[in-house]
Amino acid sequence: MSTKIKVADLPDFDMAEHLQTEEDVANYLTLVLADNDPAELRHALGTIARAKGMSEVAMASGLTREALYKALRRTSQPRFDTITKVCAALGVKLVAVPLQSSTR
């Protein structure tokens, strides 16, 4: 007979623990961007920053650690230049692709 596992007994999932390579980071961001949800993008950037180290990302982006936390909290609305600075510090860039492929 199998034993039942309570949801409360399961370990918490932390995506930051699974972002080991630059490819992991790029794949994660690609999936998040496909959802077209600004709040989820901020959350994903914060998760990636935690995986790489907030202090290190803050320094590389030219932001203070406090400003980085503030820009990536769920209720914030960071400026586009802040997002691009954080992306550059994380080693990724945002790329535009056509919504539909052309068949010319």
54-75 residues labelled b (16+ CB within 10 A) or e (exposed): beebbebbebeeeebeebbeee
- What would the two tokens of residue 93 be? 């860039």
CA distance 65 to 55: 6
Residue 4 falls inside a structural domain: no
Q: Is 80 exposed, middle or buried (0-12, 13-18, 19+ CB in 10 A)?
A: exposed
- Domain range spanning residue 36? 22-90
Residue 101 falls inside a structural domain: no
Mean pLDDT of the residues in the chain: 90
List pLDDT tens digits, range 57-74. Answer: 999 999 999 999 999 998
pLDDT value at position 96?
83
Q: How many domains does the chain have?
A: 1
Whether residue 77 is predicted with pLDDT greater than 90 in this model: the reply is yes
Q: What percent of the chain has a predicted confidence (pLDDT) above 90?
A: 63
Residue 17 falls inside a structural domain: no
pTM for this prediction: 0.81
Q: Give me the CATH number covering residue 56.
A: 1.10.260
User: Which position has the higher pLDDT, 81 or 3?
Assistant: 81
| Contacts with 44 (C-beta within 8 Å, 6 or more apart), sequence order | 28, 29, 32
